[in-house]
Amino acid sequence: MTRKLALVTGASAGIGEAFARRLAAEGCDLVLSARRVDRLEALARDLRSTLGVDALVAPADLSRADGSQALLGQVRAAGRAVDILINNAGYGLPGAFLNTAWADQQALLQLMAVSPCELAHGLAPAMAERGYGRIVNVASLAGLVPGVAGHTLYAAIKSLLIKFSESLHLELRRSGVHVTALCPGFTYSEFHDVNGMRARITAGTPRWAWMRAEPVALAGWRAVEANRPICVPGLVNQALAAASRLVPETLAMQIMASQGHRYREV
């Protein structure tokens, strides 16, 4: 039997790498995408030798307007259909909206909003035609709770991904294509090193609030297999998501405003 093919964006680190390892362990072949080719090649070698799967390295900068089409072109050239799409690549952009250059905000939107939609748009039709597909959009708990000042577009982009996932989930519900928004909270990865917030975040959040990337990816995979539109991994994150629905919005906003300085830079 031919193995399923999974495309993982942001596979060079953190949650994306954990997804790649999980899907390889499930017997899938991989297309590994990100910008750091050395990391992707090392991961591909490891997956081939330890798990016997095929792993193709497909470098792409998804913050560029032509990034997604370049990635889809590499997948087409490989001559295989993608069965599983993990839209994961992302980073945070610290600072106030007005003090952040528009080019940087545009790149963020392109990477974390436009590219995931474009990749889903490019790959889902063939999935639906074949009657099988899995799409995980890695969003965030930040997309489910009230916004805070600073990193201003981040939560908004993640909310977009959550709504997009819910709607696409319904649109494709009779097609065999499952769509899930995965909404992690604080997760050990390179995310807070890349955006320079490690020291502040570590000081501002207790250890019990954190999860490792592996259980986050596993929860996302189980949720999309079960065809659940939204997955919040971990009891702490689930409690926070539930609390933000139960508490009146104005009070939730006040709480977030008073706590925001712990993990947001304005």
For ligand NAP, the binding residue among 26, 41, 46, 61 (CB under 6 A) is 61
From 91, 154, 188, 263, the catalytic residue: 154
- Answer for the pair 38, 61: CB distance below 8 angstroms, yes or no: no
Retrieve residue 182's tokens: 């995965």
For ligand NAP, the binding residue among 26, 41, 190, 265 (CB under 6 A) is 190
The yes or no reply on residue 116 touching ligand NAP (CB under 6 A) is no
Q: Which helix (H) or strand (E) holds 80?
A: none
Quote the least distance from Cβ 188 to ligand NAP, whole Å: 7
- Residue 93 three-state SS: coil
Of the candidates 144, 158, 143, 146, which has an alpha carbon nearest to the alpha carbon of residue 250?
146
For ligand NAP, the binding residue among 152, 159, 165, 187 (CB under 6 A) is 187
With contacts defined by CB under 6 A, name the span among 76-84, 184-192, 228-236, 254-262 that binds ligand NAP: 184-192
The yes or no reply on residue 159 touching ligand NAP (CB under 6 A) is no
Residue 132 is among the residues annotated as catalytic for this protein:
no
Tell me the C-alpha distance between 217 and 212, whole Å.
9
Q: Within 10 A of 263 (CB to CB), how many other CB atoms are there?
A: 20
- Answer for the pair 110, 62: CB distance below 8 angstroms, yes or no: yes
Catalytic residues: 154
The residue ranges that bind ligand NAP (CB under 6 A) are: 9-16, 34-36, 39, 60-63, 88-91, 111, 138, 140, 184, 186-187, 189-191, 194
